């Protein structure tokens, strides 16, 4: 039997030990909370990424319950290379316009205005229907981008090439003068 004042290792602890243990519990709780939050984030991330993975379809079963074996080969998709349609609209010719320009910029990422126009002429577009902005800006430095256009009917194929790459669109020609580009353009006199 234990008397008053006798020490029992399980019941009597110094005050410092209680403080250390309570800090340990607090630290353990923080560690536990971090682990739980980390696990929750991992589960949420895994769940959201699971939708990005294409599942492999299971083999289908025929009427007898066996896996279906089809001898028909898949039909290859037919892709056609766009061509210039002289009588077509800007929308009809945009795929060809993009093909011609993408090929040029892949081969020569720093193509200047003259090279762009000459490339479009070589592809069959009419030089008289084109506009291009200068290669240099107002203070003589290389322009950030070069804009160019081909007018087809009442619409314009618009292209832009620069540090951000190539982009294109279709827009109606301006009602005053019928030009495609607003602002300073370079005379195409070569």
Nearest to 92 by CA among 148, 152, 147: 152
DSSP letter (8 states) at residue 61: B
pLDDT given at position 31: 41
* Predicted confidence (pLDDT) at residue 54 exceeds the cutoff of 50: no
Question: The tokens of 29 are what?
Answer: 């709780």
Domain range summary for the chain, segments of one domain joined by +: 14-47, 90-172
pLDDT given at position 79: 82
Residue 3 burial (CB < 10 Å; 0-12/13-18/19+)?
A: exposed
Residues contacting 185, CB < 8 A, separation 6+: 131, 132, 133, 134, 179
What average pLDDT score do residues 115-125 get?
98
CA distance linking residue 82 with residue 90, whole number of Å: 13
Beta bridge partners of 152: 155
E strands of the chain, at which residues? 130-132, 145-152, 155-162, 165-172
**Helices first, then strands: H and E counts in the chain:** 3, 4
pLDDT given at position 119: 98
Percent of the chain with pLDDT over 70: 60
What average pLDDT score do residues 23-44 get?
41
How does the average pLDDT of the chain come out, rounded?
76
DSSP assignment string, 143-190 = PSEEEEEEEETTEEEEEEEETTEEEEEEEEPPTTT--S--S--B----
* Predicted confidence (pLDDT) at residue 158 exceeds the cutoff of 50: yes
Residue 179 burial (CB < 10 Å; 0-12/13-18/19+)?
A: middle
In which residue are the tokens 């193509």 written?
A: 111
Which band of pLDDT confidence, cut at 50, 70 and 90, is reported for residue 71? low
Is the Cα dihedral 50, 52, 53, 56 positive or negative? positive
């Amino acid at each position: 039997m234990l008397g008053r004042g006798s020490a029992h290792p399980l019941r009597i602890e110094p005050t410092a030990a209680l403080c250390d243990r309570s800090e340990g519990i607090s630290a353990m709780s923080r560690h536990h909370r971090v682990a739980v939050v980390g696990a929750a984030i991992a589960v949420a991330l895994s769940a959201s990424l699971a939708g990005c993975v294409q599942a492999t379809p299971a083999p289908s079963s025929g009427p007898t319950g066996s896996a279906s074996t089809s001898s028909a080969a898949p039909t290859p998709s037919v892709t056609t290379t766009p061509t210039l349609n002289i009588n077509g609209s800007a929308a009809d010719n945009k795929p060809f316009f993009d093909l011609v320009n993408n090929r040029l910029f892949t081969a020569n990422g720093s193509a200047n205005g003259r090279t762009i126009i000459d490339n479009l002429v070589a592809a069959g577009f009419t030089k008289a229907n084109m506009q291009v902005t200068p290669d240099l800006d107002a203070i003589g430095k290389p322009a950030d981008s070069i804009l160019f256009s081909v007018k087809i009917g009442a619409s314009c194929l618009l292209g832009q090439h620069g540090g951000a790459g190539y982009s294109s669109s279709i827009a109606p020609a301006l009602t005053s003068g019928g030009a495609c580009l607003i602002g300073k353009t370079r005379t195409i006199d070569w």
